């Protein structure tokens, strides 16, 4: 069996309060746009501060949570040019790093004003601590995919 090395296993949750802010070790602004999106496939451009990335993502690879994700850093000027080719208004969000969690506060799109937390796992059954500010799990719910905003 062929195993893809560029896989991502993550779980996503709504956030109940801003209590995570007191625990955040970093924060940065993110602007991202989509060059291509269809069910199960996206090509994204992301600018995070002075860095930029091109990312290709798939839907589920097999039953479970694993997805294909290929991400490479690209030149910031190239990213700004690619952003002009994106198919809709970019998503703008603030990302907070809280231990193993990435917490995104959305400023644009369908989730404007919402806060969503993600955790990446090595294995679908890996246990993790649930902070008190963590709410309902929305893993796998398409309305919470960035590409659908």
| 146, pLDDT greater than 90 | no
**What does the pLDDT look like over 69-106, one tens digit per residue?**
899 999 999 999 999 999 888 999 999 999 999 999 99
Q: What pLDDT, on the 0 to 100 scale, is given for residue 140?
A: 82
Q: Which domains, and CATH codes, for the chain?
A: 7-148 (2.40.320.10)
Q: What pLDDT, on the 0 to 100 scale, is given for residue 31?
A: 96
DSSP-derived secondary structure letter, 126: -
Report the predicted TM-score, pTM, of the whole model to 2 decimal places: 0.86
Q: What pLDDT, on the 0 to 100 scale, is given for residue 85?
A: 95
Q: What pLDDT, on the 0 to 100 scale, is given for residue 3?
A: 45
Q: Confidence band (pLDDT; 50, 70, 90) for 62?
A: low
Q: What pLDDT, on the 0 to 100 scale, is given for residue 94?
A: 97
| 145, pLDDT greater than 50 | yes
**What does the pLDDT look like over 5-48, one tens digit per residue?**
567 788 999 999 999 999 999 999 999 999 998 888 889 999 99
Q: What pLDDT, on the 0 to 100 scale, is given for residue 6?
A: 67
Q: In the β-sheet with 10-15, what is the strand arrangement from edge to edge?
A: 7-8, 67-74, 51-60, 41-48, 26-38, 91-98, 101-106, 115-120, 10-15, 134-137
Q: Mind telling me the catalytic residues?
A: 34
- Report the candidate in 32, 40, 137, 25 with the shortest Cα–Cα distance to residue 89: 32
**What does the pLDDT look like over 108-131, one tens digit per residue?**
877 789 999 999 998 888 999 999
Q: Confidence band (pLDDT; 50, 70, 90) for 141?
A: confident
Which positions ≥6 away from 22 have C-beta within 8 Å? none
Q: What pLDDT, on the 0 to 100 scale, is given for residue 1?
A: 38
């Amino acid at each position: 069996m062929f195993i893809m090395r560029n896989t991502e296993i993550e779980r996503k949750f709504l956030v109940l309060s801003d209590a995570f802010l007191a625990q955040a070790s970093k924060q940065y602004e993110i602007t991202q746009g989509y060059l291509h999106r269809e069910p199960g496939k996206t090509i994204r451009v992301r600018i995070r501060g002075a860095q930029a990335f091109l990312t290709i993502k798939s839907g589920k690879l097999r039953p479970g949570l694993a997805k294909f994700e290929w991400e490479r850093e690209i030149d910031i000027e190239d990213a700004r040019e690619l952003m002009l080719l994106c198919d809709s208004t970019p998503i703008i969000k603030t990302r907070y790093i809280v231990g193993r969690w990435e917490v995104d506060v959305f400023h644009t799109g369908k989730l404007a004003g919402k806060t969503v937390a993600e955790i990446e796992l090595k294995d679908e059954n890996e246990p993790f601590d649930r902070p008190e500010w963590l709410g309902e799990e929305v893993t796998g719910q398409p309305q919470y995919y960035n590409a659908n905003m």
